[in-house]
Amino acid sequence: MTSNQMQTKREEAADLFLDAIPPIWYLLRAQIDKIAREKFDITGGQFHVLGRIKSGKTSVSDLADTRHISRPTVSRKVDNLVEKGLVSRKESREDRRFTVLELTEEGGNILQMMALSRRMWLEEMLTTLNDHELETIIQAFIVLGKLSKTESNEKT
C-alpha cells in the first residue's frame, strides 16, 4: 500500500471512529444516568464521584481536578453522598486539616450493581450483531485498547 493509500485509510478510520464512538458513548452515559437515578436515587455525576473515590481520588480537590469542575460543586455532590450514607469523611492521620473521602459499604455495593447493570445493557446492545460482526467488534476493541495504552505511555 502506498503512503497516499495509507493516509486515505487513516482518514477513513478516523471518520468512522468519530461517527461511531461518540454516539455510543453518549448512549452509555445516558444509560448510566438513568440507572443511577431510577435504581439508586443518585445522579450520574454522583455515580462518577463514587467511581473516582474508589479509584483513589480521596479529596474534594482531587475530585474537582479530575472531573474539571469547581470544588464547591464537587463538595455539594459529596455532601449529598454523605447524607445518603454512600461516602464517609475521615480526618487524615497525617494532617488533621485534611479530610479523606471513603466509600461506605453501601457506596461500594452501588458501584458494583451499576457496573453489572451497565455491562448487561451493553451485552443487550450486542445481541443485534451476528457472529462475524461480533468477532469484528471484539478485534476492533483489542486494537483500540492497544492504541489507548500506547497513547497513555507516551504521555507519562
Give tens-digit pLDDT for 120-151: 999 999 999 999 999 999 999 999 999 888 76
Q: Which residues pair with 90 in a beta bridge?
A: 100
pLDDT at 23: 93
Inter-residue contact 84 to 68 (CB < 8 Å): no
% of the chain beyond a pLDDT of 70: 96
One-character DSSP codes across 50-108: HHHHHTT--SHHHHHHHHTS-HHHHHHHHHHHHHTTSEEEEE-SS-TT-EEEEE-HHHH
The total domain count for the chain is: 1
Domain with residue 99: its CATH number is 1.10.10.10
- Residue 41: DSSP 8-state: S
**Residue ranges making up the domain that contains 73:** 3-155
pLDDT at 151: 62
From CA 4, how far away is CA 102, in angstroms rounded?
Answer: 53
Residues 103, 105, 108: CA angle, nearest 5 degrees: 60
% of the chain beyond a pLDDT of 90: 66
pLDDT at 93: 76
* 3-25 confidence digits (pLDDT tens): 999 999 999 999 999 999 999 99
Q: What is the mean pLDDT of residues 48-55?
A: 92
